[in-house]
Structure 1
Amino acid sequence: MAYEEAKRKLRGSICPVVTPFTEDGAIDEKAFVELINWQIESGSHGISVTGTSGEPSSLTMAERKRVMALAKETIAGRVFFAPGTGSTNHDETMELTKYAEEIGADAAMVIVPYYNRPNQEALYQHFKTVADSVTTPIIIYNIPGRSAVNMEVSTMKRLAEDCPNIVGVKEANKDFEHVNRVLLNCGRDFLLYSGIELLCYPMLAIGGAGFISATANVEPVKVAELYNAWEAGDVARCQDLHFELMPLNDVLFKDTNPGPAKVALGMMGKINPMLRLPLGFPSEALKKEVRDTLIDLGKLPKEAAVN
């Protein structure tokens, strides 16, 4: 996909699909395929896997590749595909990004390395080396709350200027001034995706390309509708959806993602809500809050409140 074409097409609600596990901790491939089909049928414009919601740091390299390949096979060109290929390890990031290109992904989402806390020059060298190794469009994944380092706008601008295949950024960044300056400095055609649920609508208003929202795992129809309403110029509907989604957005992040989302999907009968250690299950009180929120949204019948 040519980079200008990518900038036209890689837009909308991209669901960062969870990785379902069986009771014994293996990847549940059947449930995974069903989740992707449900997402596409529900109107999601794109699919991402092995991002934060997909528990990539709990997967082996072989498992990450299998999840990516299975997703690509299942999507079968119906929507665009942007798997997460980043790691705290540079060589692993290179290998996974090259694999994404090999299987024909539409883009690769590369996270700012977590735990290592690289300085800005190291971030530039890491991303430039990865970008130079492939022709696939690259989406930077900036998530300072998880990685303990923020990619500064000046670093992002250098990368956008020096690497033509770095086409955008997923900003899981609550600093709204920062994300405004991303578009000012990297260009209005730089693809800006919200990774913060309460900023999905505000980022559209400043020229964002869409969002990569964990909430889409549970409520894909309304999350996709938010983007569609914006494209249709229906600001009132966007505002309504923004506030309708807020209770679900809030409850899904009262514990570490994807724990609450997997609990919700389990209640909805979509997956066995298993997590791999070191992640753990939300408290019983939070599970009840998730259930009550799903009932209020019509995702579960009222009688589920007593179960």
Structure 2
Amino acid sequence: MQSLIGTGVALVTPFKKDFSVDVDALQRIVRFQIDNGIDYLVVLGTTGESATLSKAEKELVIQTVVETNNGQLPLVLGVGSFNTADVVEELKTRDLSAFAAVLSVSPYYNKPTQEGIYQHFKAVAEASPVPVILYNVPGRTASNMAPSTVLRLAKDFKNIVGIKEAAGDIVQAMKLIQGKSKDFLVISGDDMITLPMVLAGGSGVISVIAEGFPRQFSDMVRLGLQRKVDEAYALHYVLADSIDMIFEQGNPAGIKEVFKTLGLSENTVRLPLVNVDENLAGRLRDFTNKLSV
């Protein structure tokens, strides 16, 4: 899966002021990523507010991204649920021919044991016609995928090719990197520790901040993969304050404020999410305008 080494972005779903999906804005955002050095696109992840989209809206988002991308970058589709049977059914019935892989989150709300997580992803791997990237984000799922579970899955199922590791724990990430096979991808799901993870042997990132500042962030990851440490950290520290800001009042409210400043989309989010307050909006505008100069 060499095509998924580097910087992927978790695409937002832009909405108009009436909360409908803004197809034109989504096309602009996809082109912005393509034109500014992003390596691959992730569709319908958490950042895409997939939990608030209807089935028809999800199909519209997928169709728009696939058509706009037109084969230029690899695509990854978010396919996950707390109901294993639903994930299996989607994997068996959806046309995944446009996608290099699926990104599947560890079951949320249920709080399964490690054996339950293993059995869930066993069923996912056996059902999926394309490679599977696991997604560990205990801040949202309320349960952590232990490195031993991840490595067991990677060993037992050849089509489990990587993990988006978003526990925010560099030690856990290093244990994964230490124990993995050569080709298994350990992908950062935490923008702030992306560079340390890459330098420790990680494969890159699936990022939120990178879709707002794709050139700078993807350059940082590229330099990290090339072991150009000082140059990479110089970019990291340019971007560090913005990473804190975009998550300060929730994702994707922060990154959508960046897109509004860039003229790519409205900053509209759907309930239960709300826009960032004016103080944070002002700080994000200032940062974005300074970096864009």
Aligned to 1:40: 34
Pick aligned residue for 1:147 from 137, 141, 144? 141
What TM-score, normalized to structure 2? 0.95
Which runs of no fewer than 5 residues in structure 2 stay unpaired? none
- Identity fraction in percent: 35
Aligned to 2:228: 234
Mean Cα displacement is larger for which, 204-213 or 286-295? Answer: 286-295
After TM superposition, which residue ranges in structure 1, 4 or more long, deviate above 6 angstroms? none
Aligned to 1:56: 50
Letter matched to residue 62 of structure 1: A
Considering only aligned residues, what root-mean-square deviation do their CA atoms show, in Å? 1.6
Residue aligned with 1:102, SS: coil
Instruction: List per-residue Cα deviations over 1:110-162 (Å, max 9, x = no partner).
Output: 01122221111111111110110123110001001111110111111121111
C-alpha contact (below 8 Å) 2:91/2:129 kept by paired residues:
no
Letter matched to residue 271 of structure 2: L
Measure the CA separation in 2 of the matches of 1:36 and 1:187.
33
Structure 1 pair 78–290 and aligned structure 2 pair: CA distance change class (3 A): same
Shift of 1:101: 5.1
Letter matched to residue 286 of structure 2: D
Aligned to 1:187: 181
Letter matched to residue 191 of structure 2: E
Residue aligned with 1:187, SS: coil
C-alpha contact (below 8 Å) 1:16/1:48 kept by paired residues:
yes
Work out the number of aligned pairs and report it.
293
1:67 aligns with 2:61: yes
Show the 5 A alignment for 1:1-307. Answer: 6=1, 8-98=2-92, 102-298=96-292
Residue aligned with 1:276, SS: coil
Residue aligned with 2:100, SS: coil
What TM-score, normalized to structure 1? 0.91
Letter matched to residue 37 of structure 2: G
Letter matched to residue 290 of structure 1: L
Which runs of no fewer than 5 residues in structure 1 stay unpaired? 1-5, 300-307
Structure 1 pair 128–220 and aligned structure 2 pair: CA distance change class (3 A): same
Shift of 1:100: 5.8
